[in-house]
C-alpha cells in the first residue's frame, strides 16, 4: 500500500465570462504527514483517464454526461471521482508518473515497499555495524554535579558558553 491518501471533500461552480460555467473539485492529498490541495475540473480527470488507458486498465470514471447543475448529481460525481483516485492508488504497486503529476506529487519513491526496506537476511554482519566513533568517553555519569576538583566539566561548560555568547573572541 502506498503512503498517499486522497480525498475530494468539496466542489464549487466557477463562472467564466469566456466560456460557460464549470465545476472545480478540491482534492486533498496527504503524503508522509504533509497535506496539499489540488483543484481540478472534470475534463482534467478525463484527460488523466485517457492517458492512463494507454499503459494500464484504470478503474471506471464517473460519466461525463450528467446534469451538472443539480447539487445531488454533482455530489455523486464528487464521490465517484474520489473513489476513482483511491482505486488507482490501491490497484497499482507503482503509481504512474502521470498520476503523480496530476496530483502535484514530486519526489515520490518508485520502489515497492519490500525493495525500499531491503532484506535483513541478505545484509552481511559487517554492513550492519555502526560506523561512528565516540567523541568523548566519560568514566562517570556526566549529568551528575561535578566535584570541586573536576576541571573537565568546567572547561566544557565554559567552552559552550564562550561559543554561544562570544563566538568572535579568540580562546585563551
Quick: pLDDT tens for 53-89. Answer: 999 889 999 888 776 667 788 899 999 999 999 999 9
Name the pTM for this structure: 0.59
Contact 99, 87 (CB under 8 A): no
Indicate which CATH number applies to the domain containing 45.
3.30.1520.10
Report if residue 109 sits inside a domain.
Answer: no
Report if residue 169 sits inside a domain.
Answer: no
Report if residue 154 sits inside a domain.
Answer: no
Residue 165 has pLDDT above 90, yes or no: no
Report if residue 131 sits inside a domain.
Answer: no
Report if residue 167 sits inside a domain.
Answer: no
Encode pLDDT of 16-59 as tens digits: 777 777 889 999 999 888 899 999 999 999 999 999 999 988 99
What burial letters (b/e) apply to 37-62, b meaning 16+ CB within 10 Å?
A: ebebebeebeebeebbeeeeebeebb
| Predicted pLDDT of residue 117 | 44
Report if residue 108 sits inside a domain.
Answer: no
| Predicted pLDDT of residue 136 | 54
If one counts the domains in the chain, the total is 1
Residue 99 has pLDDT above 60, yes or no: yes
Contact 39, 27 (CB under 8 A): yes
Question: Which of the pair, 165 or 86, is modelled with greater confidence?
Answer: 86
Residue 129: other Cβ atoms inside 10 A: 7
Report if residue 38 sits inside a domain.
Answer: yes
**Owning domain of residue 72:** 4-103
Residue 109 has pLDDT above 90, yes or no: no
Report if residue 40 sits inside a domain.
Answer: yes
Amino acid at each position: 500500500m502506498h503512503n498517499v491518501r486522497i480525498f475530494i471533500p468539496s466542489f464549487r461552480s466557477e463562472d467564466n465570462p469566456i466560456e460557460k460555467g464549470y465545476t472545480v473539485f478540491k482534492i486533498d492529498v496527504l503524503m508522509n504527514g504533509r497535506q496539499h490541495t489540488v483543484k481540478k475540473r472534470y475534463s482534467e480527470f478525463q484527460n488523466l483517464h485517457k492517458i492512463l488507458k494507454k499503459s494500464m486498465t484504470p478503474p471506471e470514471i464517473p460519466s461525463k454526461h450528467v446534469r451538472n447543475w443539480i447539487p445531488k448529481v454533482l455530489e455523486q460525481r464528487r464521490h465517484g471521482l474520489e473513489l476513482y483516485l483511491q482505486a488507482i492508488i490501491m490497484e497499482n504497486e507503482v503509481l504512474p508518473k502521470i498520476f503523480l503529476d496530476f496530483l502535484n506529487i514530486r519526489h515520490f519513491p518508485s520502489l515497492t515497499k519490500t525493495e525500499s526496506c531491503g532484506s535483513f537476511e541478505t545484509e552481511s554482519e559487517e554492513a550492519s555495524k555502526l560506523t561512528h566513533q565516540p567523541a568523548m568517553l566519560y568514566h562517570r555519569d556526566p549529568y551528575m554535579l561535578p566535584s570541586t576538583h573536576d576541571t573537565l566539566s568546567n572547561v566544557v561548560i565554559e567552552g559552550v558558553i564562550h561559543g554561544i555568547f562570544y563566538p568572535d573572541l579568540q580562546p585563551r
